[in-house]
Amino acid sequence: MSQKIEKFEDLEVWKSAVGCANLIFSVTSVGPFSKDFVLRDQIRRAGVSIFSNIAEGFERDGNKEFCNFLTIAKGSCGEARAQALFALHQGYISQAQFDELADRLTRTNRQLSAFRSYLTRSDLKGRKFT
């Protein structure tokens, strides 16, 4: 028997996205990264955008809109990963920090893809359609 998802906080993909944002905030809070206000703020916005778009899409109730927001969240994962790579090249983060961040963002992106695919195939179309 599957668990009914009643709020976005129940979604594993949302929890993963929050974990990515927490890691981004952690690595951008120290050293030279914390002083590059433009890159620091941009990667933080991308990280926050991931879980925010999942939440906003969920609250829209319909699967079609939700899928659109999941697509935006996927884009934000890619944006954050690209910015992390740039931060690595600038010497703001270590290879190990980049690897951990890139791995978590890639896993979250895969979760988003799988969840979006599930919603696309699902006969359930959201609370407002039942």
| Angle CA 14–19–105, to nearest 5 | 85
Q: Read out DSSP for 42-98? A: HHHHHHHHHHHHHHHHHHT--HHHHHHHHHHHHHHHHHHHHHHHHHHHTTSS-HHHH
Topology of domain 11-122 in CATH is de novo design (two linked rop proteins) (1.20.1440)
- Averages of pLDDT over runs of 10 residues in the chain (130 residues) are 80 98 98 98 98 96 92 98 98 98 98 96 61
Put simply, whether the predicted model's pTM sits higher than 0.75 gets the answer yes
- SS3 at position 124: coil
Q: For the chain, what are the domain ranges?
A: 11-122
At 126 the pLDDT is: 57
Q: What is the pLDDT of residue 1?
A: 41
Question: ∠ CA(129), CA(1), CA(56), 5° rounding?
Answer: 40
pLDDT for 123: 77
Quick one: pLDDT at residue 87? Answer: 98
